[in-house]
Each structure stands twice: as C-alpha cells, then as structure tokens.
A and B are shown apart, each in its own frame.
Chain A
Amino acid sequence: MVSILDIIGPVMVGPSSSHTAGACRLGLVARDLVAGTPTKALIELHGSFARTGEGHGTDKAIVGGLLGFRPDDERLRDALGIMEKEGLDWRFEKTTLGDEPEVHPNTVRITVTREHRHHVMVGASLGAGRIKVSQIDGYPVEVDGSHHTIVMVAEDIKGSIARISGILSDNDVNIATLRLTRKHRGGDAFMVIEVDERPDDAVGAALKALPWVKWTHRIDKVGG
C-alpha cells in the first residue's frame, strides 16, 4: 500500500530514486539474506539498470546497500571505493532477465555468499524508491521492504502455519501478511511473513528449532 511517506520521501542521496534509493534498498535486502556483508556477490543488471546504471550511481547504490548503508547515507557516493578497499569479491554484469512487462525495466539479480549462506534474489526498483523482490532462491515471492519480513523454507506439513503464528504471537509480533508458495504439493514451502514489529533473535531461534524448518531469515524493513 502506498503511503504519504513513500511519496514524500525517502530522504536520500541523489540523483535517482529508482536507480539510487531503490537500488540501495535492494542491496540491503540481499545483505539481510546472508545476515551481513557478503564476501562474494554477483550483481546482474537488467534493462534500464544495465543501460543507465553507471551514470546514475546504481552500481554505487547497490554496493552501498550490500555494505549496509541506508539510502540517505552520504557514503553511498564512495561505496565502490570502500568495496575495493575492503577487498570484497563483488562484480557486475549486464544481463537480460526476460521481456517487459513480465520483467520490470529496473530489475537486478543479486547472488550473495557469506560463510555457509548462499542466496539468489531478483528484485525491481518500481520508482519513488519503492522496491519489489520477486524471487528468492527460485521461489516466487513479494517483498516490498515496507515491513519487517521473515522468509523461510519449510517442509510442507499440516499445522505448520499454526505453529509459526503461535511462536510469533508468544513473542508479541503481529502478522501483517503471510504468503506461502510451493513448487508442488508436499514439496518444500516458501513462506514470506510480513510483521508489524521487528522480531528479535529469540523468534528466529524458535523458528529454526522447529524440525521441519530448513532455513529462515529476517529481512529488516528498508522503506517507509
């Protein structure tokens, strides 16, 4: 849902809310998937991101997001230099991820690795700094960064949603939306749970302790 503060905002480093602020937010989401600064990253730019990203500082903004800088952080200007200084193995490629309108003109695929974690996400910058992550590890999702979000892969067993929502309510976390996607019945389910309060680490630990949960992670709110 579009809010007043989505429109009058974000406060950000210029020059382009799509190419800079939105790109930075996509970088922040990718960073959260591996819970910290990735040691390795492949950033594949599609469409307008590929064509005009360089002059807009899209590369700096995505790299800034991966480094954990917010869209209003003036260090975004120097993000590429910081990346090189830190000796990170991050590289850019231009690619085609599909045709419009299926693929938004400002789309990026980011593959990140940190320690034992390795994830791939596809996301688009929709304008005005708003984003939509459309795919995580091959699962179709919808994450717009306007809420704290829990993403998880779990075996598709009966009663799983009840258990998960129980853990959340026990920890005073209110569910805003919950979406579940499966590649097939009985296969693994990918869950995206948007919540009103930022879940603390205890929630993550409780979810991970469920024997049928294979992987779970918290993505902090990056917009609004």
Chain B
Amino acid sequence: MYTSLAEAIADAEAQRKSLAQVALEIESRDQGRSVEDIRAALHRALEVMRHAIEQGLTGDLRATSGLVGGDAAKLRHGAAGPLAGTVFREVLMRALAVQEVNAAMGVIVAAPTAGGAGVLPGVLLGLATKHRLTDDQLVDALATAGLIGAVVAHRASLSGAEGGCQAETGAAAGMAAGAATQMLGGSPKQVGFAVALAQQGTLGLVCDPLGGLVELPCVFRNATGAAIAMAAIEMALAGIEFAIPADEVIDTMGEIGREMDVRYRETAGGGLAATPTGRRLAKERLTQIKRA
C-alpha cells in the first residue's frame, strides 16, 4: 500500500483514476486478491456499519460500566437544536450510535480502530441519503479511507496508547474527510486537502478515557471527530487549500504523539480521566464491573 498521500495523488492524477481505484489496484497486487474480492469484503464491512447504526439508534444499549449509552437516540428523536433536520445531524447521530454499540461490546468495524469506529460510518452513511449515494460509491469511499489510514499507520500511528486520540478519532476524521470528499466528487488533490484540514484540527488531541474505558469521552469524541471531518469536507470541496501537505500534517501528528506524556496516551492518568469527577465516576463504575 502507499506510504505517502502525495504519491497516491500523483498516481491517480497521472492515470486519471480516483484514489479509490489506485488504492484497490495496489491492494490487489500486494495481497494477491482480486479487486472484486476486496470490494466484496468492503461491502460486508458496510453492512456491519449499517447494522451497528440501527442497533445504536434504538437507544437500548448500555456500556458494561453503564457510563454511556442511549444518547444517539436523543439526536434522532429530539426536535430541538439548530441542526435539527440537517445532514450534519444525520452524521452526528450515526457516529454516536456506532460508538455506543462499541462501548457495549457489540459488533462494529474498527475503522481504523474501535475507539474511532463511529466517525467513518457516521460521515459516509449520514451523507448517503441526502446525496443519494450507491453502495458502490460508499465502497469506493471505504477504499479511499483505507488508503489514508494505511498512510497514517505507516507515517504516524493509529493507536491511542502510542499517539493519543489524534491517532484514533483524529485519524478517523482524516479518513472520513478524504473519503467523503472523493465520494462527493472532489479531485484527488481536494482529498489531500481534506485530509490535511481534518487532521490539523485534531493535532494534540489527548487520549484520556475515564478508567481507561473506551466510553467517556470516546463516544462523544467520535461525534466531534465527525464534525471536524464535515468542516474539512466543506472547505475542501469549496476549493480551499491547506498550505501544509497532508503527509507533513500526518508526520507532525506522529511527532506530537511520540512526545506526548504517557498520562495522555490511553493510561487514564491525565486529561478528563484525572478530573475529580472523572476519577470518581471511574472508581464507581469499575467497582460495579467487578461486582457484576
């Protein structure tokens, strides 16, 4: 797979193909699998994403600790709020829904990780209805997201324990931004700007889960990650260019991650996890898990 977005963008432009096409061709060569076979696997992933959204929007799920759950359904049914009736709200509620399923040990697609699994399906499937997107277009978008994630994995990290939440929901926001920009007709270059714009908005994002659980703030951070992706998509499709290339933004993320104090890397030793309320809630909930 590509290790640089610039290289993938150059190839796509030279061959007059989409980033999804060049990614699928390289994947096919690397893995010795046909493009159809890879697309079929991505279709299955799409189905799992849809199923998780449905499950999450019923509002009946609770995490093992009881700390989170039931909030996605509030966005579905609540009429209030400035975003009611908008595609933005469709995106937010789906991102929350998937992440609530994840916290409840339900079945999801890690994309790129479980902690950031809500952003990509939230953005892609939240946009799908309004823009009348076909499953084939969504699968292409997943392939592009996979390419972007692979570049991030190679150049920086996709693990909160290594790089903070910028490597999880941050990377997911970059993937979703690039994938959706392509899906909505953006050029390979615009995809690059979308990735850079989304990822720059999450630089420095710490991983500070209460009690170390993928619940709080993780669930909500998937919704805000989706919001950052939406901002990036809107800007990139409007022709806004970001001066620092995506690869360099990703490299910066990796560097910040390596320098980040261990308290801010999934250890529950800092950030929101270390607030008085954070500590109290974590203690109460973890005691509850042990009793159960």
Establish whether residues B115 and A16, one from each chain, have CB atoms under 8 Å apart when the complex forms: yes
A2 within 8 A of B: yes
B206 within 8 A of A: no
Establish whether residues A55 and B286, one from each chain, have CB atoms under 8 Å apart when the complex forms: yes
A3 to B154, CA, bound (A): 11
B153 partner residues in chain A, CB cutoff 8 A:
2, 6-7, 127-128, 130
A47 to B268, CA, bound (A): 12
Residue in A6, A14, A77, A129 whose beta carbon sits within 8 Å of that of B214 in the complex: A14
User: How would residues 18 to 62 of chain B score, 1 for a CB under 8 Å from any chain A CB and 0 otherwise?
Assistant: 000001100100111000001001101100100000000000000
How many B residues face the partner with a CB closer than 8 A? 63
A10 to B158, CA, bound (A): 14
B161 within 8 A of A: yes
Report the interface size class on chain A: 35 or more
A162 within 8 A of B: no
A98 within 8 A of B: no
B205 within 8 A of A: no
Establish whether residues B150 and A20, one from each chain, have CB atoms under 8 Å apart when the complex forms: no
A171 within 8 A of B: no
A113 within 8 A of B: no
The residue of chain A having its C-beta at the shortest distance from the C-beta of B31 within the complex is A3
A6 partner residues in chain B, CB cutoff 8 A:
150, 153
A48 within 8 A of B: yes
Establish whether residues A48 and B161, one from each chain, have CB atoms under 8 Å apart when the complex forms: yes
Which of B138-146, B182-190, B242-250 touches A? B138-146
The residue of chain A having its C-beta at the shortest distance from the C-beta of B108 within the complex is A14
B111 within 8 A of A: yes
User: How would residues 204 to 238 of chain B score, 1 for a CB under 8 Å from any chain A CB and 0 otherwise?
Assistant: 00000101111100000000000000000000000
Establish whether residues A129 and B110, one from each chain, have CB atoms under 8 Å apart when the complex forms: yes
User: How would residues 1 to 42 of chain A score, 1 for a CB under 8 Å from any chain B CB and 0 otherwise?
Assistant: 111111111111111111111000000000000000000000
User: How would residues 101 to 127 of chain B score, 1 for a CB under 8 Å from any chain A CB and 0 otherwise?
Assistant: 111111111111111010010000000
Establish whether residues A52 and B104, one from each chain, have CB atoms under 8 Å apart when the complex forms: no
Residue in A4, A18, A54, A55 whose beta carbon sits within 8 Å of that of B113 in the complex: A18
Establish whether residues B1 and A12, one from each chain, have CB atoms under 8 Å apart when the complex forms: no
A2 to B48, CA, bound (A): 22
B120 partner residues in chain A, CB cutoff 8 A:
8
A129 to B265, CA, bound (A): 17
Whether A51 touches B150, Cβ cut-off 8 Å, given contacts A8-B45, A128-B113, is: no
B173 partner residues in chain A, CB cutoff 8 A:
none
Residue in B107, B108, B154, B159 whose beta carbon sits within 8 Å of that of A126 in the complex: B159
User: How would residues 239 to 265 of chain B score, 1 for a CB under 8 Å from any chain A CB and 0 otherwise?
Assistant: 000000000000000000000001001
A48 partner residues in chain B, CB cutoff 8 A:
161, 212, 265-267
Establish whether residues B211 and A7, one from each chain, have CB atoms under 8 Å apart when the complex forms: no
Further 10 A-B residue pairs, CB within 8 A, beyond A13-B107, A18-B160: A7-B145, A11-B48, A14-B214, A15-B115, A18-B113, A52-B212, A52-B267, A128-B113, A128-B153, A129-B113
